Amino acid sequence: MPHSENADPIIQLGQLSAYIAHEVNQPLGAIVTHGEACLRWLNRETPAYEEAAASVQNIIGLGLRASEIVRSICSLATPSALQATRLELNDLVHDVMPLVRHDVSNHSVSLRLRLARGLPPLLGDRVQLQQVFINLILNGIQAMADIDDRPRELLIESCMETGGFLIVSVRDTGTGIAPEHAYRLFDAFFTTKRGGKGIGLAMCRSIIEAHGGIILAFNNAGHGATFQCRLPVIEATATAE
Ligand code: ADP
């Protein structure tokens, strides 16, 4: 199942403005309300400093939330420059394990690693690639959240493909991908989740492509879906340049 091509830019822009209007206007409105409340607490004959401080705390929290939203939109439009170093794919996978352990156990997921030995190194940005793996793992966990009639299993595999590509895949036993969603999964702002942002997979795609790789999604023969990243090994990256 190939990822979708970029949608019509006008539609994307429309989606973007609706997203910003919803996600950023809401905290901005709340910031103004808390700011006004803060002024009222301070302007009392006996200023209520504790209440004023609580309003300021709320303002800080809302400001951080709004700036996180703006940051994630900007990272989609202009992915930050790659801090590329020589990396071992399996080390990257091991490094994200502590970061997802909590979600794995909270959702009663059994997580298995099947990592090939002796893989060649790749040239990549450790933090950005970790972000991709975390996203894929959390998506897999979320796709299994409502599954109660079979085991919730997440399998992370790495291997080498002929042609100079390393492959890492995240396979779940969740809902799988509905055919009508298949071509939109990687589009920015596409989400089927209540409260979802639809940014994770778009960000994954832009990071993997910035590494000269590709990301694919397909349904498994049994249950669930697999998300697969193909990344060039160092030799292949060097020849491509
Ligand atoms: P969000 O998680 O905010 O919805 P994403 O860009 O990460 O944003 O995902 C977009 C959509 O892709 C999800 O809403 C879901 O419909 C689908 N999706 C992502 N991962 C999976 C998965 N492992 N199994 C089935 N569907 C998935």
Residue whose C-alpha is closest to residue 165's, from 119, 128, 207, 130: 119
The CATH number covering residue 148 comes to 3.30.565.10
Q: Do 3 and 205 form a contact (C-beta atoms < 8 A)?
A: yes
Tell whether 94 is covered by a domain: yes
Q: Which ranges constitute the DSSP H helices of the chain?
A: 9-42, 49-77, 89-106, 126-143, 200-210, 234-240
User: Which of 76, 180, 193 gets mutated to test ligand 1 (max ligand atoms within 8 A of its CB)?
Assistant: 193
Residue whose CB lies within 8 A of the most ligand 1 atoms, among 173, 201, 228, for a mutation test: 201
| pLDDT band at residue 5 using 50, 70 and 90 as cut-offs | very low
- Of 70, 90, 236, 224, residue with least CA distance to 156: 90
Residues 226, 14: Cα–Cα separation, whole Å: 30
Pair 174, 56 in one domain: no
Greater confidence (81 vs 229) lies with 229
Protein residue whose Cα sits closest to atom 23 of ligand 1: 140
Q: Percent of the chain at pLDDT above 70?
A: 88
Answer for the pair 182, 113: CB distance below 8 angstroms, yes or no: no
Measured distance CA(57)–CA(52) in Å, rounded: 9
Q: Which two tokens stand for residue 198?
A: 């639809």
Residues 67 and 148 in one domain: no
- Per-residue CA distances from 15 to 22, 114, 187 (Å): 11, 39, 11
pLDDT bin (cut points 50, 70, 90) of residue 76 is low
Task: Give the tokens for residue 191.
Answer: 């989400």
Alpha helices in 43-114 (DSSP H): 49-77, 89-106
- pLDDT class for 213, splitting at 50, 70, 90? very high
pLDDT value, residue 53: 95
Average pLDDT over residues 10-19: 63
Residue 199 has pLDDT above 90, yes or no: no
Whole-angstrom distance, CA of residue 97 vs CA of residue 90 = 11
196 ligand 1 Cβ < 6 A:
yes
Q: Please give the number of the atom of ligand 1 that sits closest to the Cα of 139.
A: 20
Stretch 2-8: mean pLDDT, rounded?
42
Helix (H, G, I), strand (E, B) or coil at 5: coil
The pLDDT confidence band at residue 65, using thresholds 50, 70 and 90, is confident
Q: What is the mean pLDDT of the chain?
A: 87
Asked if the structure places residue 1 within a domain, the reply is no
Report whether pLDDT(59) > 80. Answer: yes
What does the pLDDT average to over 2-12? 46
Least confident of 44-48, 88-92, 200-204: 200-204
Q: How many CB atoms lie within 10 A of CB 158?
A: 20
Domain region containing 59:
9-79
Average pLDDT, integer, range 164-169: 95
Q: How far apart are CA 96 and CA 156, in angstroms?
A: 11
User: Phi, psi (5° rounding) for residue 186?
Assistant: -95, 5
With respect to residue 241, please indicate whether it lies within any of the assigned structural domains: no
Angle, CA 91 vertex, CA 90 and CA 95 arms, to 5°: 120
Distance 148 CA to ligand 1 centre (A): 19
Q: What is the CATH classification number for the domain harbouring 39?
A: 1.10.287
In a domain, 238, yes or no: no
**What average pLDDT does the segment 25-43 reach?**
94
The answer, yes or no, to whether residue 63 has pLDDT greater than 80, is yes
The Å distance, Cα 139 to ligand 1 centre, comes to: 6
Ligand 1 mutation pick, 139, 142, 169, max ligand atoms within 8 A of CB: 139
Number of domains the chain is built from = 2
The CA distance from 128 to 138, in Å, is 15
